[in-house]
Amino acid sequence: MARRMTAAWMAALGAMLMIMAAQQHSAAAQRPAAAKPKAQPAAKARAQKPAAAARATTTLTGCLRMDGYHYELTDLKGDQAPKARSWKTGFITKMAKDVEVIGASTNIRLNDHVGRQVTVVGMKDDDTHLKVSSIKRLSASCA
């Protein structure tokens, strides 16, 4: 008896899924096709790319530390440093967040600057990841 009941439920479920799929297919056929965006002139498209690249460049100053296999920039200073609220201040004030640093090329030798105060220039992947294009040592040690 239980097997007949299960088979009946499975048949009903299959029929419902087929009906729902048919409804979605007919609704999709009735929708008008989306209008294609107009192509921008090549000169205008080229003019927009450098402006976007200039905005994405970030300069951060802080102490470069190594955490396992990852490099981190800590004790950040400056206006471009990402900030977040912390339980240490009762979520009242914002403090600078640490940023994970990745070398954009093999010419960037982050290991030579570990434990030193540096200024890095690069592109942000997100709020806490920076792909470094140049690095400059400011101090022999972190203070």
CATH (domain of 68): 2.40.50
Q: Is residue 119 part of a domain?
A: yes
Q: Is 115 part of any domain? A: yes
- The reported pLDDT for the residue numbered 45 is 53
Total number of domains in the chain = 1
Confirm if 69 and 102 have CB atoms less than 8 A apart.
Answer: no
Would 110 be classed as within a structural domain?
Answer: yes
* 123 found inside a domain: yes
Token output for 70: 């990852």
Backbone torsion region of residue 17, taken as left when φ is above 0, otherwise alpha when ψ lies between -120 and 50, otherwise beta: alpha
Each residue of 27-47: pLDDT tens digit?
656 665 555 555 555 555 555
Q: Say what the pTM is.
A: 0.53
Those residues with Cβ within 8 angstroms of residue 135's Cβ, 6 or more apart along the chain or in another chain: 108, 110, 113, 118, 119, 120, 121
Using 50, 70 and 90 to split pLDDT, how confident is the model at 54? very low
The reply to whether 24 falls in a domain is no
Tell me, yes or no, whether 32 lies in a domain: no
Does the residue 128 lie in any domain? yes
The residue range of the domain holding 131 is: 56-139
Is residue 104 a part of any domain in this protein? yes
- pLDDT over 70 for what percent of the chain? 72
